[in-house]
Amino acid sequence: MPGTSCARTTTSMRKKQRVRLGILFGGKSGEHEVSLTSAASVIGSLDPEEFEITAVGITKEGKLASPAQVRKMIPSHLHERVRAYGYLEARDSKMRLMPVPARSRSNSNLTPEIVFPLLHGPYGEDGTIQGLLETAGVPYIGCGVLASAVGMDKDVMKRLFIQQGLPVLPFIVIRTKELPERLLKLHRVVEQQFGYPVFSKPANLGSSVGVFKIHSRKELAGAVSQSAQFDRKVLIEKGVDARELECAVLGNDGPMVSVVGEVIPSHEFYDYEAKYHDPTSRLEIPARITEQQSKRIRELTERAFQAIDGTGLARVDFFLEKKSSAIWLNEINTMPGFTPISMYAKLWAATGVSFQDLVRHLVRLGLEKFEEKSIRRVF
């Protein structure tokens, strides 16, 4: 059971004096602000007696933030909880993230033991930062390069799910450059193969940024063009009248799976505004579904995680069609939000894993993955 495993993790973590944890946040994707909120939530929730946090900010321009910029990126009441990133140090062919030393601890080892890349969207959740950390020999929390890249690209992700026999809704993908010349044909394909409504979304983005529900032909061109502003590929997917369900994964090999939760959006669907700015959107955990449906969704969650070779954590999203009760796998999110209203932590809380234990477990999983890779032979 998750509670037993995490209890062992809690005991082992408390034997150490303060885990040196690097929080990597910000980024130049359209989800920059979501990342700031996630970082503030994690920093504010962790016990300062257990975690020594170094904040490593990335600006909207994609540059490493200065200590002054880092302080502007997190709420003022959290400034005393973190050390701001100071500089990069290269030693023994490895990169070290060196924080600004506190006067009282100037002789302590300040290098983070492990990094938590709380970056959402491109240039953070898509394997790019994971590749940098791998090259630098820095342990980190979460999925590796391949799983992160596949999990970000909805086109590749869905094709991989289909290959693994997982149920996904019919979709097509159009490259942004081809959109003007294919627009007329697109109308015909949508109406003949899908019918309305359909959804258009950037292939590589998250938090429902650039996602539009299209109800009729007159909305199609405008919506697809707006989605195309965010990525080189646009995915157009058949719409269904469905409930939106989510399930969380925690682990490397043989991962644990949480209870199932339901998103009840205040808008027509769970768009960016409904996720982050509308207090009337709510989460229902556990979801009011049958035991058979819950078992099926939890099984598909684990299969989806294994299909992309996931490690550490992920949240898997589903549609439960209201009329037919068909279950459709929507997508996997390899770095789900850690805001106060985010589903991932709440799903584990309902499963019996506290936020503190969740972070402890993720730290252990990240170090475990790093140690396993370190002992492999290199030719």
Q: In terms of pLDDT, which residue wins out, 111 or 242?
A: 242
In angstroms and rounded to an integer, the radius of gyration of the C-alpha atoms of the chain is 21
pLDDT tens digits for range 212-228: 999 999 999 999 999 99
Q: Mean pLDDT throughout 189-206?
A: 90
Q: Mean pLDDT throughout 55-79?
A: 91
Burial grade of 371 (CB within 10 A; 0-12, 13-18, 19 or more)? exposed
Q: What residues contact residue 334 under an 8 Å CB cut-off, 6+ apart?
A: 125, 142, 143, 147, 148, 151, 152, 308, 310, 313, 314
Q: How many whole angstroms separate alpha carbon 44 and alpha carbon 37?
A: 10
Q: What domains, with CATH codes, occur in the chain?
A: 2-140 (3.40.50.20), 151-167+241-334 (3.30.470.20), 171-238 (3.30.1490.20)
Q: Mean pLDDT throughout 255-277?
A: 73
pLDDT value, residue 18: 86
pLDDT value, residue 17: 77
Tokens of 70: 């880092």
pLDDT tens digits for range 35-64: 999 999 999 989 999 999 999 999 999 988
User: Of 108, 142, 132, 17, which Cα lies nearest the Cα of 99?
Assistant: 108
Place of tokens 């299909």: 307
pLDDT tens digits for range 123-154: 889 999 999 899 888 899 999 999 999 999 99
Q: How many whole angstroms separate alpha carbon 6 and alpha carbon 85?
A: 30
Place of tokens 């938090």: 207
**CA angle 86-34-118, nearest 5°?**
50
Q: In terms of pLDDT, which residue wins out, 271 or 309?
A: 309
Q: In this predicted structure, which of 220-229, 240-249, 287-296 has the lowest mean pLDDT? A: 220-229
Tokens of 233: 């590929």
What is 13-53 written as a DSSP string? HHTSS-EEEEEEEE-SSTTHHHHHHHHHHHHHHS-TTTEEE
Q: Mean pLDDT throughout 2-15?
A: 46
Q: How many whole angstroms separate alpha carbon 169 and alpha carbon 20?
A: 43
pTM: 0.85
Q: What residues contact residue 19 under an 8 Å CB cut-off, 6+ apart?
A: 13, 50, 51, 52, 113, 114, 360, 363
Percent of the chain with pLDDT over 70: 83
pLDDT tens digits for range 322-349: 999 999 999 999 999 887 678 999 999 9
pLDDT of 13 above 50: no
pLDDT tens digits for range 170-196: 999 999 998 888 888 898 999 999 999
**Alpha-carbon separation of residue 288 from 241, 313, 348 (angstroms):** 17, 24, 17
Beta bridge partners of 51: 19
Q: How many whole angstroms separate alpha carbon 83 and alpha carbon 227?
A: 38
Q: Indicate the pairing of strand 114-118 with strand 94-99.
A: unpaired
pLDDT tens digits for range 343-373: 999 999 999 999 889 999 999 999 999 999 8
pLDDT value, residue 270: 47
pLDDT value, residue 100: 57
Whether cis (ω within 30° of 0) applies to the bond prior to 122 is no
